[in-house]
Chains A and B, each alone.
Chain A
């Protein structure tokens, strides 16, 4: 919007000499930066943040002091050295820390490719705060929890339809946990057929999430990884045939993969593995662009999984809590984690009588608040809404790709000239050859504009990678603004790379001295370890007068005293 745009109400046109003027693009962002001490440094002896109910005299008279009866060595000798703060100071400290983040609510979060950083509707956050979800115990009599059981059952049915699978479990805590669950069921399936020892290999691909290989390996399988074809960007059928044998327990594959390239031969992949007696599990963490377009069932898969915190909008919460869902065919259903949610007329119940179940993959039944959020999100959209989600996500992605490929030094390797689905893995290889600036450095400089991006999993197959996934939540103006920020950083790479190498400049803090993290003598994962290794009192002397925080104790950690 320019200053010369006519005001809708007055109709006057053109800027006046006193006009404030338009905002520049990219904007003159600076992140909140509170220089906030570590909470231990804010400790003021004798203060309290919250009080507990006192024990009634009637109880005291009856039981005396049970703590005193604890044997020496069992009773804690000294109170834990936690910080002491008044309530307002806890609130202020954490509110300041909360400002020092860039999540979906604050930035055009298209840079965290494969994370599907879409809008998490606030109404769902409010709904889950109800005591009739937040204050339910999982062991309550089923008669008192029919509502949450019904929501779980309904979400399972919805995910069955979205995937085409016959049964769903919502027990896993997140995506990797769901992959684990599928791998465990695959293991149980073959063991039940007496083939557990023979089928000791799992096939996956280089562009799948590393958790596929990691879960398979942890479960005792040998992992065989397929490299992508250098032209198409996805493994060839010949490569698959070379990897599959009568030792193959399963194929774990993502489609589209992290490149955003759809594998049109996916059903052939499944057929080849089935012919060898293996199962096929579909990692559908990247489902956002294909909802209502194509399903696991029609491609022939035996298992699949979804991330509720990606495709289905539950918030990422700094890295969890999240939620995962696994879908299976009827053949795999006996192995589902226990208990399952069942319906009998208008009554819902938990069925733990499942002799072939793999058992538990986590406590209780699932991350209930996220199950409710996902359910509500889907219910607000319906089938046409989900189709719209997928189509706009794909349109946004291809539009952003058009903008990014217009920037100097960028490329989108593989599948030249073809569209992508919901994300793109770009390469800044040309820019790096031209300027010596690396992709990771560009990413850090983006923080100075109020955003960021993610490169890729390791090891890097695409050199100097950048993976962007717009989702359906961002507008065209958002995408243009993101491209403008990226463009500004690219121009700097060619014109003044030193600015990028010394970034960030307008973020919360400056470049971190990473070498500490590799050195056992210097690393410190807790404040007590830091004080022990580096002396107490923090990284600088603490002034007292004039600060609005309570005076720091300034004392070294008690355990850091030399003769402690």
Chain B
């Protein structure tokens, strides 16, 4: 569907704005996932923030690119409030890719449609203004096929796919598209909270997927060798986990890219945002259940000893979270605390700054039993002792 404009050798950006993202924040509502909440927010006098923040990004991008003397990237936008209005606010020339499909309130489906249109047009970078909910839509639409960066404009901005500010988003975009850029990207988690739980004061992030985000080159340390990149660190940690798994014993693999590294070493496919059950063998492993719910997990592990491999999810480092997590309390109890293997890269743990990993299994007594200190596998012959606490 390449009916977009020919942009020649210039890099191009696709900008999609979720106009209702962040609407709830100023008026004290926590998120705007449902039309009812949006209506309430508007009734309370909320003003859309996202278009203005997106415009800030465009202005910053333009300014940085101009100061470097590089050609300005081409700009594709969604129609109306889905990007076009933001471009107008910034005084930026833009091409609208998708005709407006309906009047009235935009929905997640519109966001996804615009994103897919950008992908078809072959944009070099996809920018979105919104929150975790919008990030979920982007992940559903383009997965990791297009480099994507979030302009923070929502109330919930927990996913690791956002720049720290609209201005920084502009700078990162400019650096990413610069002629000399290596266009390094990294897989970053898209998490979102169970909003109903969140309104009750309960925090339980769910892993929804991954986006491929521009990653700044790790700055060299002058007094020590450059640490391995994330991929290498994950591979090392994964290999070390595999070396510790008993042969022939079922193993429950939780979600996340670090656990995927374990699966890669075992030679089995891994559901990135779900749970799989495998049994390690001499030459690799056999998949017992893929993307399993609680029932399938219980059926797969049987009655004997079992190990569980998990990695911390989200910025706060949740090991076990509430909600529809297939690794139910009964399964954790059956395995026993010592059979829980936590794997993480050193960088992931360092980012916690010494704060504990969190558990919120839904069973308060089990949470207390899991609390204390746990030894995390971080690489070959490397362990880190980290505190664990109930959320």
Contact = CB atoms under 8 A, between A and B. Distances in A.
Interface of A: 115, 206, 210-211, 213, 217, 221-230, 233, 238-239, 242-243, 413, 432-433, 436, 440, 454-455, 457-463, 498, 501-502, 513-515, 518-519
A243 B180 contact: no
B283 interface: no
Given A224-B375, A227-B386, A514 B354 contact: no
Given A238-B373, A243-B373, 15 more contacts: A217-B381, A227-B349, A227-B384, A230-B354, A243-B385, A436-B167, A436-B171, A454-B223, A457-B223, A458-B221, A458-B224, A459-B347, A459-B350, A463-B351, A498-B64
Interface string B200-229: 000000000000000001110111101100
Nearest to A244: B385
- Among A221, A223, A501, find the residue whose CB has the most chain B CB atoms closer than 10 A: A223
Contacts of A226: 384-385
Given A227-B384, A433-B164, A243 B375 contact: yes
Nearest to A514: B217
Given A230-B355, A498-B67, A223 B222 contact: no
B194 interface: no
A206 B182 contact: no
Contacts of A217: 381-382
Contacts of B352: 227
B198 to A, nearest CB: 23
Q: Across chains A and B, which 3 residue pairs bring their CB atoms closest together, nearest first?
A: A242-B373, A459-B350, A436-B168
B372 interface: yes
B227 A459 contact: yes
A243 B386 CA distance: 10
B171 A501 contact: yes
B5 interface: no
Given A436-B165, A513-B180, A224 B67 contact: no
A413 B163 CA distance: 23
B242 to A, nearest CB: 16
Nearest to A498: B67
Contact of A457 (B167, B217, B224, B378): B224
B181 interface: yes
Contacts of B382: 213, 217, 222-223, 225
Contacts of A225: 378, 382-385
Interface in B320-353: 346-347, 349-353
A461 B383 contact: no
- Among B64, B222, B223, find the residue whose CB has the most chain A CB atoms closer than 10 A: B223
Interface residues of B, number: 41
Interface of B: 63-64, 67, 163-165, 167-168, 171, 180-182, 217-219, 221-224, 226-227, 346-347, 349-355, 372-373, 375, 378, 381-387
- Among A225, A227, A228, A515, find the residue whose CB has the most chain B CB atoms closer than 10 A: A227
A227 B165 CA distance: 30
A225 B385 CA distance: 6
A207 to B, nearest CB: 10
A521 B144 CA distance: 27
Contacts of A233: 354
A223 B350 contact: no
Contacts of A457: 221, 223-224
A454 B222 contact: yes
Contact of A242 (B218, B346, B385): B385
Given A454-B222, A454-B223, A461-B353, A223 B383 contact: yes
B217 A518 contact: yes
A209 B176 CA distance: 33
A13 B372 CA distance: 70
Contacts of A501: 171
A413 B353 contact: yes
10 contacts: A115-B223, A221-B381, A224-B384, A225-B383, A227-B385, A436-B164, A457-B224, A459-B351, A501-B171, A515-B180
Given A227-B354, A230-B355, A242-B375, A210 B224 contact: yes
Contacts of A463: 351, 353
A110 to B, nearest CB: 16
Given A432-B164, A501-B171, A462 B353 contact: yes
Contacts of B347: 458-459
Nearest to B224: A210
B67 A223 contact: no
Contacts of B218: 458
B385 to A, nearest CB: 5
Contacts of A221: 381
B164 A460 contact: no
A213 B381 CA distance: 10
Contacts of A413: 353
- Among B227, B349, B384, B385, find the residue whose CB has the most chain A CB atoms closer than 10 A: B385
Nearest to A513: B180
Given A227-B354, A239-B387, A440 B219 contact: yes
A461 B347 CA distance: 8
Nearest to A222: B381
Contacts of A455: 219, 221
Nearest to B167: A436
Given A210-B224, A213-B382, A242-B385, A460 B375 contact: no
A239 B385 contact: yes
A222 B163 CA distance: 37
B182 A518 contact: yes
Contacts of B165: 433, 436
A193 to B, nearest CB: 22
B325 to A, nearest CB: 25
B354 A224 contact: no
A228 B223 CA distance: 22
Contacts of B354: 206, 227-230, 233, 461
Given A242-B375, A433-B164, A458-B221, A206 B350 contact: yes
Contacts of B226: 458
Nearest to A441: B219
Contacts of B171: 436, 501
